Structure 1
Amino acid sequence: MATTAFSNSGAISSYSLPPQIPNLNFYPTNPRFNWSSKSPSSGRSAIIRRLRRYCSPVPNPSCSLDLPLLPFELDEVLIPSEFKTLHLYEARFLALLEESLQRRKKLFVHFVLDPFFTSRSSAGASFAARYGCLVLIESIKQLEIGALVSIRGIGRVRIVELMQMEPYLRGVILPILDDVSGQKSEIDSKLLELRKSIHNLHSLQIKLKVASKNELLQTRIKNSLAWAEREVYEDCDQAFIPNLAERLSFAALQTVSGMSDSELLALQSEKLRAMDSRDTVERLRNGIKFTKQNINMVAAKLAIQSLGI
């Protein structure tokens, strides 16, 4: 199972496959197709042909990308604007990394395998390929064993076709974007409120003694805000870049200094809800509410800290 340590620069994950799925057995985005955990390797080509038949067709090939796919467990969901560091060390994932760097413009897809049970499955849970996020490789640090890979979530995607199983997954993806028509005035007011709340939270975070020296320069939420407010994204296909309001609606959902296990669990729930939503205004409202809750939490921790408790 992947292990994660949270820091200002991002979550560092020693990546390995989720323990229940050593052979990468999962349902695609369209759950009508059942990929059994008992499928032999010799039958994979036939399975892939059947999978292509059941997957949603690509409506506009110019808006699709063919990229490597890296699966994670449900508690490792990645959202647009989020920064994260992975430790990749297995040969197949280093091969995925090389493919992304040399042929795929430093891009691959981070997606979650969501377990569920069906009446037809007696061997245990099946898996749905959900919460896909297009990511950009921002930096790489070579290690004695493997490499530390810093990635940035760009935008939500849907996996529509599986192209390859070995040595790593590869598939065709389409962008998932919000529809913001007719919401401009409400979006503008919510963006103003969200920016103010994020800056207030950042100011409180850097006062916490538990924060590292690096965090005094830039907290995770400020890092995501800076990325979301960029005007030019030359390093990625523009069809996959969310608009400013959508980018900012995700930026608030970041780890805060000193979060407890229950607070991290609440953050996880917010991230999953944000990935499911197609309503920018709703996500902005939730982001504002979540940020204000974190402001109160950090303020309380500062008060306790000032008392020397």
Structure 2
Amino acid sequence: MYTSCTAFNLACPSSIASFGIRFLHHRRVSEAGIARNLRERFPNTSSMRRRHLAPLASYLELPLLPFVTNEVLVPSESKTLHLYEARYLALLEESLMRKKKLFVHFVLAPILVDDSSSEPSFAARYGCLVCIENVERLEVGALVSIRGVGRVKIVSFLQADPYLQGVVVPEHDKVPDSPSRLSSKVMEVKEALCSLNSVEIKLKAPKESLLQTPTANSLVWAEKEPFLDCDEAFIPSLTERVSFVGFQSVSGSTPSELLKLQNKKLNAMDLKDTLQRLDDSLELIKENISMVAARLAIQSLETQ
């Protein structure tokens, strides 16, 4: 099942995230301008590179794939991208060739730096290390299924051509003061997620829809210890992984509900408190259970 259509190609099918650079052109921002802006923020020189990397205990040099703010990806979430431009197919091949099958999904958030500037400036935010789960070759490009693994921060920009590449370090929550309380809250969230899955699969759905919802699929992934060819420092703890699972859309979500979800996802990515994120997740899951149950009741009435 294809999910999370991205705004980079406004003409793409609603079920597929089709990635290009067209959104940036609509905003009258060139790739050269983005590269120049990032180069200024992350100097591309050997001396600066050594200075950046020397004190870092854990870092990865990976391809970077930019998205707009409303396409933030959280750990445990899955998304299918349609990569069709040569530069992004080159990014894909590089990720597969390294055998790590990893790259970084991040958001280019516009920021106001200088009113006299002819081009907007961007901040590289909400970085998420992703692993490639499946690749389906097409006549034009490829469908790439990815999974968010954990948050990362871009600390150095290395290249702009043929695709963006940089150095990233892991970002994790602070160590909790009350492990027992955290464990209890995790169980509460998991039970709520199971309840949400139970009511959601009862909704009338297209024949091609899976019986397991994206949220339930993410929970299954989060409960397992991810096996990735990278430093373990990049893999969040079980509690941190579970705390992100609830931040996904449910069947029949309206545009206003999806906008509300995006804001909650941005807040979740900013938080460094696992317990607070679990509380926020639980609140959202309960709201979604009520919403789906109401739609289920309406559906039941319509079929009578």
Check whether the contact 1:67–1:104 (CA below 8 A) recurs between aligned residues: no
1:25 corresponds to 2:33: yes
TM-score (norm 2): 0.88
2:250 to 245, 248, 256: 256
Alpha-carbon separation, structure 2, partners of 1:234 and 1:252? 23
The equivalent residue for 1:79 is: 74
- Where do 5+ consecutive residues of structure 2 fail to align? 1-7
The equivalent residue for 2:5 is: none
Check whether the contact 1:56–1:161 (CA below 8 A) recurs between aligned residues: no
Identity of aligned residues (%): 51
Matching of residues 182-221 of structure 1 within 5 Å:
182-210=177-205, 212-216=207-211, 218-221=212-215
Residue 52 of structure 1 and its aligned partner are, at CA, apart by 7.6
Residue 214 of structure 1 and its aligned partner are, at CA, apart by 3.2
1:273 corresponds to 2:267: yes
SS across alignment from 1:112: strand
Alpha-carbon separation, structure 1, partners of 2:116 and 2:69? 20
Residue 22 of structure 1 and its aligned partner are, at CA, apart by 2.5
Residue identity opposite 1:15 in structure 2: F
Cα shift readout 1:212-269 (whole Å, capped 9, x = no counterpart):
45322x1000011010000352444311000011000101111201111111111111
1:127 corresponds to 2:122: yes
Check whether the contact 2:44–2:159 (CA below 8 A) recurs between aligned residues: no
2:137 to 120, 137, 142: 142
Matching of residues 1-309 of structure 1 within 5 Å:
1-3=8-10, 12-17=16-21, 18-19=23-24, 20=27, 21-23=29-31, 25-26=33-34, 35=37, 48-49=43-44, 53=48, 57-58=52-53, 60-103=55-98, 105-210=100-205, 212-216=207-211, 218-308=212-302
Alpha-carbon spacing, 1:56–1:222, altered in 2? closer, same or farther (3 Å): farther
Cα shift readout 1:256-286 (whole Å, capped 9, x = no counterpart):
0111111111111111000011110010000
When the two chains are superposed, the root-mean-square deviation of aligned CA atoms in Å is 2.6
Residue 116 of structure 1 and its aligned partner are, at CA, apart by 1.5
Alpha-carbon spacing, 1:123–1:188, altered in 2? closer, same or farther (3 Å): same
TM-score (norm 1): 0.86
Residue 165 of structure 1 and its aligned partner are, at CA, apart by 1.0
Check whether the contact 2:62–2:104 (CA below 8 A) recurs between aligned residues: yes
Alpha-carbon separation, structure 1, partners of 2:89 and 2:208? 32
Residue 189 of structure 1 and its aligned partner are, at CA, apart by 1.5
Residue identity opposite 1:2 in structure 2: N
Alpha-carbon separation, structure 1, partners of 2:136 and 2:302? 39
